[in-house]
Amino acid sequence: MKRVALALLALMLLVGLTAVGQAKLTIWADDVGTPVFREIAAGFTAATGVEIEVVEIAFSDLRGQFITAAPTGEGPDILVGNHDWTGELVVNGLLEPIDLGLRAAEFNAVGLEGFSYGGNLYGIPYGVENVALLYNKDLVPTPPTTWDELLTIAADLTDVESGVYGYIVQNPDPFHWFPMLSAGGGYIFGTDENGGLDPCDVGLATPGAVNGAIIFDQMIEDGLLANGADWDTMTGVMFSGNGGMVISGPWLIGGLRDAGINYGVAPIPSIPNGDGTYGTPKPFASVRGVMLSSFSENKTIAKDFLFNYIATEQVALELFAKDPRPPAYLSAFDKVSDDPDIAAFGQQGQNAIPMPNIAEMSSVWGAWSDAQALIGNQEADPIQALQAAVQQILDAIGCEE
């Protein structure tokens, strides 16, 4: 009997090893995360023999392609993305719950909250971040504290023919536009009587939001903002040293350093409300992390990778070194918190608003982006554009007036 038991054990081990040898994990990430996760994956493959393919997909396409591909078995085992995708992906049955157990105490609470939905956790956070004002110290020695000062600096520096911009930001891009609207009280969703998000209360056309849109509109009219600037345009200007200021996040730091830009990070300047008072911009708090597909055929191996190769201090520090987002892993954050960039983003983060992660958020981005584009193209005034966007969002969600 003993020999039989040993033979069975050997057979099980052989089958197990064969299964692992045949197993393969696929990770989808954007251009920033891809090189980082390829390096981490190489360590996992060396230790376990499990091959990991990291596929680079444009960040703007990641969520949509995952929604389409996952149910067909063509999607990844692991998706790198933002917390605000959680609600939509969960509602569509695409994510597997992740139980960190006692290890949850090792992570930033906001990071865990971002990936939580309906009482379950659906992602392991690795970075909690928000935008702030990044500036080229050679062009802007002292950062502005008010938007009036920002406009003055931008007017002095901007020379479109020479490709020099005192201020540049991606647009249309509601994520980076939100601080201008929130400073006067604009918001995405209000709250219901239980304190949860109310998707039928959309605050993108409040007087404060419209005020911020009017300022944006005037900057386009005055030639102080490059209309239609995308990521490549913005980074090209900033990395060449021809950009004075930009609203962006920690993900831009690596490129600025590599380009040798003498940069600084400061809070986004306060924005005039039109009545002599100034409002404090409230950017989104965004959580970046890794999610497990419910359609993965290798969940056990994927969880091993997530728990033992992603959810560690060492990897958190490696991620930070290559992609400097404030770590969600608490002990790693403690080790980098004396970094002046992290301190500056943290100062701005005190006024950050968690980006809604409910499924209805998917109905917001398109209409909101279209409104910004209409304003930037001078095809609609801010009030009309934002009111139309709000109605479009309410209609898409199915809210009754």
Residue 218, Cα to own-chain centre: how many angstroms?
28
Q: How far apart (Å, rounded) are the C-alpha atoms in residues 374 and 177? A: 14
Residue 317 token pair: 């520090």
Report phi then psi at 240, rounded to 5: -85, -5
Tell whether the torsion through CA atoms of 236, 242, 246 and 248 is positive or negative: positive
Q: How far apart (Å, rounded) are the C-alpha atoms in residues 375 and 216? A: 8
Residue 210 token pair: 């419209």
pTM of the model: 0.76
Residues in Cβ contact with 100 at an 8 Å cutoff, skipping those fewer than 6 apart: 106, 107, 112, 121, 124, 311
Contact (Cβ atoms closer than 8 angstroms) between residue 173 and residue 179:
no
pLDDT in tens, 328-381: 999 999 999 888 998 899 889 889 888 999 989 989 999 999 999 999 999 999
Q: How far apart (Å, rounded) are the C-alpha atoms in residues 275 and 295? A: 54
Residues in Cβ contact with 40 at an 8 Å cutoff, skipping those fewer than 6 apart: 309, 310, 315, 318
Coil, strand or helix: which one is 3? helix
Which domains does the chain carry?
A: 2-129+285-354 (3.40.190.10), 132-282+364-397 (3.40.190.10)
Q: How far apart (Å, rounded) are the C-alpha atoms in residues 182 and 199? A: 17
Task: Supply the pLDDT for residue 18.
Answer: 39
DSSP state of 310: I
The length of the chain in residues reads 401
Q: How far apart (Å, rounded) are the C-alpha atoms in residues 110 and 286? A: 9
Task: Supply the pLDDT for residue 205.
Answer: 97
Task: Supply the pLDDT for residue 401.
Answer: 61
Low-confidence residues in the chain, pLDDT < 70? 1-22, 401
